[in-house]
Amino acid sequence: MTAQQNSQAQLIFLVLAALFIASLVTSNLIFQKFFYWEPFDLYRFEISVGILPYPITFLITDILSEIYGKKKANQVVIAGIFASFFSMLIILLADYAPAITNSPINDTTFSTVFGLSPLAVLASMLAYLFAQFVDIRIFHYWKNLTRGKHLWLRNNFSTFLSQFIDTFTVLFLLSSFKILPWNIFTNLLISGFLFKITIAVFDTPILYFIVFWFRKKFNLKIGEEIPTFDS
């Protein structure tokens, strides 16, 4: 790979990492709001708005796994976890800072919107970290097994299992910590998992297009990854 291609590969990697981290941090900031969605009146999804950026993170890790390799994908996941905890620390400090009398947002409003439960954040991060590492490991297992072929297979199989693990774990922890009542556990689990796998199916053509573009731009063969640019 030429020096120019190497520079371009690094820039694209940074953009993908930035999108991943922004999506992850945003999901943790907005997860307290829940909504419903009834596509074609077939099923009523009752899910947190925090779930909306999540499919983006799994799509990006699949792109990174396919093009940049397992090591780079894991590095981005770890960076996202650190960014999430750092943002939660900043919010905690901001929540403790007393608002002045004529502040547009008073202490009560700020705490209601951003005063996240530390246990809720911990549950979300533990579930997400576990799910992402499972996703990357399964993705590469199928990639090695199929010798780089059948991208749709490893994309969907890795995402389906990891999304179920993420949804189940975070809801189980939130219910165990008594942040959510147990009587809505099953409904939220089904809604969350079905929503995530539906999005995963629809993002498969997007993944194919992006991977095709990468292979054409950097002259990669099927299953080939961009050489590491650590040095």
**Rounded to an integer, what distance in angstroms lies between the CA atom of residue 37 and that of residue 44?**
6
Q: What is the per-residue pLDDT across 80-133, written as a single tens digit (0 to 9) for each?
A: 888 888 888 888 888 889 999 889 989 988 887 776 666 667 777 777 777 777
Q: Is residue 227 part of a domain?
A: no
Residue 121, φ and ψ in degrees, nearest 5: -65, -45
| Residue 125 in tokens | 């991060």
Return the HEC string of 174-227: HHHCCCCCHHHHHHHHHHHHHHHHHHHHHHHHHHHHHHHHHHHHHCCCCCCCCC
Q: What is the pLDDT of residue 117?
A: 60
Q: Which residues span the domain enclosing 40?
A: 3-218
| 3 state DSSP class of 45 | strand
Q: What is the pLDDT of residue 61?
A: 87
**Rounded to an integer, what distance in angstroms lies between the CA atom of residue 165 and that of residue 178?**
20
Q: Is residue 114 part of a domain?
A: yes
Q: How many CB atoms lie within 10 A of CB 74?
A: 17
Q: What is the per-residue pLDDT across 209-223, written as a single tens digit (0 to 9) for each?
A: 999 999 999 988 887
Q: Is residue 211 part of a domain?
A: yes
Q: CATH number for the domain including 184?
A: 1.10.1760
Q: Is residue 224 part of a domain?
A: no
Q: Is residue 230 part of a domain?
A: no
Residue ranges in the chain whose pLDDT is less than 70: 115-120, 228-231
Task: With beta carbons less than 8 A apart as the criterion, state whether 159 and 131 touch.
Answer: no
Q: What is the pLDDT of residue 229?
A: 59
List the one residue out of 56, 227, 72 whose CA is nearest residue 136. 72
DSSP string, 95-133: HHSPPPTT-SS-HHHHHHHH---HHHHHHHHHHHHHHHH
| 3 state DSSP class of 34 | strand
Q: Is residue 52 part of a domain?
A: yes
Q: What is the pLDDT of residue 178?
A: 75
Q: How many domains does the chain divide into? A: 1
Q: Is residue 80 part of a domain?
A: yes
Q: Is residue 210 part of a domain?
A: yes
